[in-house]
Amino acid sequence: MRIDELSGRRVALLGLGADVRAAVPAIRAAGPAELVAVESGAVGLAAAAAEGLAVRSLEEAAASAEVLVRSPGFPRYQAALVAALGRGARMTTPLDLWLGTHGGGRTVVGITGTKGKSTVTDLLGSLAAEAGLRVGLAGNLGVPVFSDDWDHGAPLIVLEVSSYQAADLHHVPDVAVLTFLSEDHLSWHGGVEAYVADKLRLLQNEAGTAGLVLLPEDGGRAAEAVAALGVVGVQVVPSPSGGAGVPSHRVQNAALAAAALAAVGGPALSDEAIVVAAGRSLPGRLDRCDGPPGVRCFDDALASNPSATAAGLRWLREEGRPTIVVLGGADRGVDPAPLADEAGRWPAGLLRAVVVPENGAALAERCGIEVGATVGGVAEAVGAGLALLERAGSIGGEPGGGGEGGGGALLFSPAAPTVPGEGNWETRSAAFRAACAAAARPGG
């Protein structure tokens, strides 16, 4: 949809998250006949009061609204909303409204996938800027499209798109990047097939098909899912061999970013330059952080599903490092098979887990990972993990008789999202890093 299509219509805002709140001025300026909000929590009700919005129940709003503007995480498949769509109401999101209103006359790259989308978005933005291109980055990486926190006027726009946002896209980008695709958010979407279908709306919807679709060489379900759509203009991006200490999935993500850069008129990067880009540290994405001597500590807080955790563990297994992985968070019913498969490849005794609520213990059990400690939170998990490594003699030794740094690794890669009410991935990332840094200090 476009913003001007809201003129004279009854509009309901489903949730007042950051994306919708940033869009309220533009929505008001379009002149809707009525503008109400659906909210129930204390924070949301306070936001509605601050915006001067009348609050309606979901059932009331769905029964009368002509357009439903959904906050990305607002549950889409509730009965009242399904009924509203059935009678002809339209569903959109701020990202869809922005793309329909402002996406023309510029080059838009949309990036989605189960894991790797944030990394590819960040890398593409950095590589484009370094090549002298004016680029604007927004979307799921924490920058609402209607906010003033990014360059709206850039001729090159890079949007990270979650499955929540893709579910109501009615426009397609010039270039669509689909990273590694497995499964996630199944309870929200209603199953694997619905999750994949919602994701793929970035590539193809009633507006047509993206001009170019980039897929990784090793993309999980990606190639099969795109083939089923019958999409043309698909390019499978090969991944160059990485250097020592660079995880293969990072190289794959950097290769996707490089391919997208070339597709929008930027320079073609050499394999060597791609590997260098892959080695850049990105917060919460297998990022080396401070820790006590003789241990390598990695913050992989953004690994909120089993596939992402499996990727990090694969790299440490290939390096031969005794590893303690901190697992656990909210249970979304995601199949842990990728993590179980990776855990089964580890030599006996080299991989153990410290588990946190709510599903850490169940996840470790289903994946066949020995549990070394059960604790109440991420900060406590650091101490427990370091103690396990010390008792196993895995602090300060060289893995496999060689390798950079100490022999053991402490990896925070939860394979599940943060439990509601406990903040977000950044909250847990900060707790992990602070505890590792404290352990590095004398007496820590």
What CATH number does the domain containing 69 carry?
A: 3.40.50.720
How many domains are contained in the chain? 3
pLDDT at position 183 over 70:
no
d(Cα 382, Cα 348) in Å, to the nearest integer? 22
Final residue in a domain of this structure, among 46, 69, 92: 92
d(Cα 431, Cα 76) in Å, to the nearest integer? 32
Tokens read off for 145 = 């499209």
Q: Is 391 exposed, middle or buried (0-12, 13-18, 19+ CB in 10 A)?
A: exposed
Do the bridges between strand 156-160 and strand 107-112 make them parallel or antiparallel, or are there none, so unpaired?
A: parallel
* The pLDDT value given to residue 402: 35
Final residue in a domain of this structure, among 67, 92, 117: 92
83 and 232 share one domain: no
| pLDDT tens per residue across span 210-268 | 999 999 998 778 888 888 888 889 999 999 986 667 888 889 999 999 999 999 999 99
- Residue 171 has φ and ψ, to the nearest 5°, of -140, 160
- CA 216 to mean position of chain CA atoms: 17
Question: Which range, of 14-23, 50-59, 70-79, 239-248, averages the lowest pLDDT?
Answer: 239-248
Mean pLDDT (whole number) for 194-211? 92
358 and 311 share one domain: yes
* The pLDDT value given to residue 354: 98
304 and 395 share one domain: yes
* The pLDDT value given to residue 188: 61
CA separation (Å) from 183 to 198, 222, 354? 12, 11, 24
* The pLDDT value given to residue 403: 39
Closest C-alpha to 223, from 178, 257, 160: 178
123 and 9 share one domain: no
Closest C-alpha to 5, from 28, 30, 26, 36: 30
Give the predicted TM-score (pTM) of the model: 0.78
219 and 236 share one domain: yes
18 and 133 share one domain: no
34 DSSP β-pair partners: 10
180 and 212 share one domain: yes
Confidence class of residue 418 from pLDDT cuts 50, 70 and 90?
A: very high
* The pLDDT value given to residue 332: 81
69: left (phi over 0), alpha (psi -120 to 50) or beta: beta
Question: Which range, of 232-241, 325-334, 397-406, averages the lowest pLDDT?
Answer: 397-406
* The pLDDT value given to residue 168: 95
69 and 181 share one domain: no
25 and 82 share one domain: yes
| pLDDT tens per residue across span 79-94 | 999 999 999 999 999 9
- Residue 157 has φ and ψ, to the nearest 5°, of -115, 130
What CATH number does the domain containing 426 carry?
A: 3.90.190.20
269 and 380 share one domain: no
* The pLDDT value given to residue 400: 38
The mean pLDDT value of the chain amounts to 91
Final residue in a domain of this structure, among 247, 278, 309: 278
328 and 263 share one domain: no
CB 93 within 8 A of CB 70: yes
pLDDT at position 57 over 90:
yes
114 and 85 share one domain: no
d(Cα 136, Cα 249) in Å, to the nearest integer? 25
Q: Please give the residue range of the domain that contains residue 117.
A: 97-278
Confidence class of residue 41 from pLDDT cuts 50, 70 and 90?
A: confident
